[in-house]
A and B are shown apart, each in its own frame.
Chain A
Amino acid sequence: MEAKDIHQKLKDKFQDAILEFNEEVLQPYVVVAPDKTDEIAEFLRDDADLQFDYLNSVSGLDLGENLGVVYHLYSMTKKHKIVIKTEVPKEKPDVKTVSHIWRTADWHEREAYDLLGINFVNHPDLRRILLPDDWEGHPLRKDYVPQESWHGIPTTLKKEEKDDQQQ
C-alpha cells in the first residue's frame, strides 16, 4: 500500500486526529494527535489492509518549542512502511503509550523518556533506562545543562582541566 492510501484510510477512520500528511519528503509521514496514538497504533496493527506488525523504532527529538515523537513502522506481511509523527509541548509532554501494541516500544519509550523527558501515559514501567535513576534532567534536550557532580563524581571538566587538555 502506498503512503497516500494509508493516510486516506487513517483519515477516514480518525478524521480530526490526523493532522498532517507530507509525501514530498524521502519517507512520507503522517502527523497525528498525541492523545490518540494508542488507538491509531491499534488500528494500524490490526486492520487487514495495513497489518503493521513490526515497529522499527520510536525516536524522541527536541524541536525547540515542542518535543517530537517519531514511529517508524513496517509490515512483515504486506512489505510496506510508514512514518507516524506526533508533537507535544514541553510543558506537558504527554503521549499515549503504544507499548501494549508493539512490545518493542516498551524500551524505546523508556529511552525517549530518559533522554528527552517525554511522558508516555499508561506505560507500565516508565523509568530511566540508560542513565542512573537519580540523574537530573534529560540530556538530549537542546537546553540541557549537565549537573556538576553525581554522588561526588565530577561529570564535567573544570576550567583549568579544560585549558590543560587544549594545550
Chain B
Amino acid sequence: MTNSNNFPEARYELVNPDPLKTDEYVLNMGPQHPSTHGVLRVLLKTDGEIIESATPYIGYLHRTFEKHAEYMTWPQIVPYVDRMDYLASMNNDLGYALAVEKLIGLEVNERAQYLRVIVAELNRIASHLVFLGTYGLDVGAFTPFLYAFRERERIVDLFEEISGARLLYNYIWIGGVAWDAPEGWLDRVDDFLDYFNPKIKEYNDLLSYNKIFIERTANVGVIPADLAINYGLSGPSLRGSGVKFDLRKDDPYCIYDRFEFEACVGSGLKGTVGDTWDRYFVRIQEMVESVKIIRQALKQIPDGDPKETVPKNVRVPKGEIYFRSETPRGELGYYIVSNGGKNPVRVKVRAPAFSNLSIIQAIAPGLMVADLVATLGSLDIVLGEIDR
C-alpha cells in the first residue's frame, strides 16, 4: 500500500510557527445528532470554540428517487415525491402534479384547485410548526415544541380525514385530487383557523421575543442578500436576508394570483438583516399569511367534482419542462423530460434544502460551535429531500 497516513509533509515545514497557535481540532457533527435534523454529517475543523471550516457530507438518506422515476408510470411517481420532503408532502405533490399538467396542457377542475391550495397552505403551517418546535429545541427551549405539536396535531387530523394518511398523503394527483373533501371538512378547517390564529401570539410571547432566544439568534449566522442569491437560497431562508422574492407572488402558479397576501421578509428587527432570528421570524409571519390565504380560499371555493379532470390514462407528449413552486423550504423545481412514452426519461429534482444547506460552508467559518447549531436549524433543512 502506498503512503496512506494523513500527515502531509508540509505539516513540519512551517517557517515561522505562531507560538500561540495550537493544533486544529477535527470534530464530527453527526451523522446521528439531534441538531442536524436527520442524517447529516458536518466535518468541523475548530480552533477552540471557533469554527475554521465546516464541510457537510450528505447522501445518507439517498433512495435513488431519480432512478426510480425512470421506471415508474407518471401517476406512480406521486407517492415517491411524498417521501422527499416528508414534512411538506402536499407541497411536493402539488409541484409535481402542476409540472406534468403543464406538459400535457391540462386544465384542472376549479374545486380541485382550491382544495389543493387549502391543503398546501395547511401543510405549510404544519411544516413551519415543526420548524418552530425543533428550532426551539436546537437553542435550548423545550416548551415551544409541545405547543407547536399540539397545533400540528389538529392539522394532521384534518389531513387524515381528507386523505387517509397522517404524514405521506398521496392526495394531489395529476389532473386533480384523490377525493373530494368529506362533508363538513371545510367548516372544520375554518374552525381550526379560528383556533390557530390567536396561538401565534402565544408563540411570539414564548419564543420569538424571549430575551434568551434573541441573545442566541440575533446577529448570528448573518447571510448577506447577494451571497444568498449566489448560493441559490430560496424560500424563507432567502427572504430572511431581505430579498422580497416569493414564487407564489413573483412567478404565480396554480391559483395563487387570486389571493391577497404578503411576501414576508427579514428586516433586522432584533439585530442585522439576514441573521438567524430574521429567518426564524419570517416563518412565523408566513403562518399568518397562510391563514389569510386559506380563509380566502374557503370563501371562494366553488362546488363541483374535483376528480372530473383526473385522466384515466396519463399520456404525456414529447417535451420538457422546468417547473418551480414554493414549498415551506423554498423553490422546489422539477425538470421533467418526456419522450411521449409511459414513463419519464428524466426527472431531476431541484430540492430547496439542497441549495440552502450548501451555504453552510461559506458562513460557518468564524462562528462558535453552538452558533452553528442555531444557524443550521434556521435553514430548516429536511434531509429527505436533500438526498432524495
Please list the residues of chain A having a beta carbon within 8 angstroms of any beta carbon in chain B.
Answer: 25-27, 53-57, 59-62, 70, 72, 76, 79, 83, 102-104, 106-108, 115, 128-132, 139-140
Contact = CB atoms under 8 A, between A and B. Distances in A.
Contact of B232 (A59, A102, A129): A102
Q: Which secondary structure characterizes the binding site on chain B?
A: mixed
6 contacts: A25-B319, A27-B320, A56-B324, A76-B245, A79-B250, A129-B59
Contact-residue size bin, chain B (C-beta under 8 Å from the other chain): 35 or more
A59 to B, nearest CB: 4
A140 B250 CA distance: 33
B243 interface: yes
A57 B335 contact: yes
A33 B187 CA distance: 58
A56 B333 contact: yes
A130 B320 contact: no
B231 A103 contact: yes
A42 B290 CA distance: 38
B238 to A, nearest CB: 9
Contacts of A26: 102-103, 319-321
Nearest to B103: A26
B94 to A, nearest CB: 18
Contacts of B258: none
B387 interface: yes
Contact of A140 (B66, B230, B335): B66
Contact of A61 (B102, B324, B346): B346
The 4 A-B residue pairs with the shortest CB-CB distance, nearest first, are A104-B232, A57-B350, A59-B348, A130-B59
A128 B58 CA distance: 10
B231 A104 contact: yes
A129 B321 CA distance: 25
B345 A61 contact: yes
B376 to A, nearest CB: 16
A57 B348 contact: yes
Contacts of A106: 358
B219 interface: no
B87 to A, nearest CB: 20
Given A27-B320, A61-B345, A103-B359, 12 more contacts: A26-B102, A26-B103, A27-B321, A55-B232, A57-B322, A57-B335, A72-B350, A103-B362, A104-B231, A104-B355, A107-B354, A129-B58
Contacts of A140: 66-67, 346
Interface string B340-364: 0000011010100011001100100
A104 B228 CA distance: 10
Contacts of B359: 103
Q: Which of B59, B103, B231, B331 has the most CB of A within 10 A?
A: B59
Given A26-B321, A59-B335, A72-B322, A139 B355 contact: no
B369 to A, nearest CB: 23
Contacts of A56: 232, 322, 324, 331, 333, 350
Interface string B233-264: 00000000001010000100000000000000
Nearest to A131: B59
Contacts of A59: 335, 346, 348, 350
Contacts of B362: 103
A76 B230 CA distance: 11
B165 interface: no
Contacts of A128: 59
